[in-house]
Amino acid sequence: MAQKVKQSLSHDDTLKIVDFRFQIGDRKHLDKHLIKAASISHKIPQSAIYNLKSALLQLNLYLRYLYMDIHLKLFIFLVITSTAISTSYAEETGWADLNLQMAELYQQGKYDEAVSLGERALEVAEKTFGPDDPRVATSQNNLATLYRIQGKYSEAELLYKEALRIKERTLGPNHPKVATAANNLAGLYRVQGKYSEAEPLYQRALKIREESLPPDHPDLGQSLNNLALLYKIQGKYSEAEVLYKRALMIWEKSLGPSDPNVATVLENMAELYKKLQENDKAAELESRARKIRRASQQ
């Protein structure tokens, strides 16, 4: 990929570069592409969005280590993509500030305070952008994740379902962000032991990503890992092994062999091989995962 962004590069193309840089952890080049995308979106001087950009990049420091299915990275793109002509920049950044504060509290484990801000952010989004705006779905998803962590599964389910509905209506049924919403709802069902409800959602997310994303996109690896985990829980060991191997290959290629996500899938595969009484394979994978974990903590 060329190091320079040509002036003729479209907003959508620039966002794709931002997404790619984010996925591979290239924060150095993510910086300039994020400024470019935001300035194109808002048609304002790049200096006017610098503070927002800096805050988002600080958030990027720990996004990779949150629950994989929270997908707060979507928030970045929704913040810098202005779709409502009547909405002022100040209103949008006010909503963005609430989300950033919520994310900081989340990382600190202050879930009650984070929920309070998440509820405010959702209220602001609905009032400012309208009930069917994708940014409302983002706030619903963020708040649902907090509810899930607190064990408020019924409240989380309602919000995850509504976020999925909004994204299907505004983006179409086969958009990658619809896959993300389906994945999040599936994750909620999985932790509740509702495997028959989780499986078709995980399968749908995987199908959308296989058809809409590059073959080595990290989100595709996520879908493969999540569905494999569900299959392992259900005792479908052969199906799980195939998916885990695909996820490992994708993440090693797209994120690098020392990424914590690679350690995660190695650990998951090790648990699978223990179930299959293949203890030598399990020990080898656990050893690789430990090395990655130790290196990431240095």
Same domain as 170, residue 138: yes
Highest average pLDDT, of 23-32, 63-72, 263-272, comes from 263-272
Could you tell me the residue range of the domain that residue 140 belongs to? Answer: 68-81+89-212
Same domain as 187, residue 104: yes
Q: What is the distance between the alpha carbons of residues 225 and 230, in angstroms, rounded to a whole number?
A: 9
Res. 152: pLDDT tops 90: yes
| DSSP 8-state secondary structure symbol assigned to residue 217 | -
Q: How far is CA 179 from the centre of its chain?
A: 10
Residue appearing with tokens 């309602």: 158
Q: Which two tokens stand for residue 69?
A: 């299915």
The band of 297, judged by pLDDT with boundaries at 50, 70 and 90, is: confident
Contact 172, 208 (CB under 8 A): no
Q: What are the C-alpha distances in Å from 159 to residues 21, 156, 194?
A: 30, 5, 17
* Tens of pLDDT, residues 215-259: 999 999 999 999 999 999 999 999 999 999 999 999 999 999 999
Q: Is pLDDT larger for residue 174 or for residue 2? A: 174
Phi, psi of 69 (to 5 degrees): -90, 5
Question: Is residue 1 assigned to a domain?
Answer: no
Q: What is the distance between the alpha carbons of residues 122 and 44, in angstroms, rounded to a whole number?
A: 26
Contact 118, 142 (CB under 8 A): yes
pLDDT of residue 94: 82
User: Quick one: average pLDDT of 264-291?
Assistant: 96
Same domain as 95, residue 25: no
Residue whose C-alpha is closest to residue 240's, from 209, 195, 175: 195
pTM over 0.75: no
Instruction: Read off the CATH number of the domain in which 220 is found.
Output: 1.25.40.10
pLDDT of residue 27: 44
Same domain as 176, residue 100: yes
Q: What is the distance between the alpha carbons of residues 179 and 160, in angstroms, rounded to a whole number?
A: 12
Same domain as 125, residue 58: no
pLDDT of residue 9: 42
Q: Which two tokens stand for residue 49?
A: 């969005």
pLDDT of residue 96: 84
Question: Is residue 6 assigned to a domain?
Answer: no
Per residue in 122-147, is it b (16+ CB within 10 Å) or e — as a string? bebbbebbeeebbbbbbbbbbbbbbb
pLDDT of residue 89: 56
pLDDT of residue 24: 42
Q: Is pLDDT larger for residue 290 or for residue 85? A: 290
| Residues near 266 by beta carbon (within 8 Å), at least 6 away in sequence | 248, 285, 286, 288, 289, 292
Same domain as 183, residue 77: yes
Q: Which two tokens stand for residue 210?
A: 């296989």
| Residues near 199 by beta carbon (within 8 Å), at least 6 away in sequence | 186, 227, 230, 234
Least confident of 4-13, 138-147, 244-253, 257-266: 4-13
* Tens of pLDDT, residues 32-82: 444 454 444 444 344 444 344 444 444 443 343 333 333 444 444 444 443
Residue appearing with tokens 């090693």: 252
pLDDT of residue 90: 60
Question: Is residue 105 assigned to a domain?
Answer: yes
Same domain as 208, residue 72: yes
**End-to-end CA separation in angstroms for the chain:** 30
Same domain as 101, residue 203: yes
Instruction: From 160, 182, 212, give the residue that closes a domain.
Output: 212
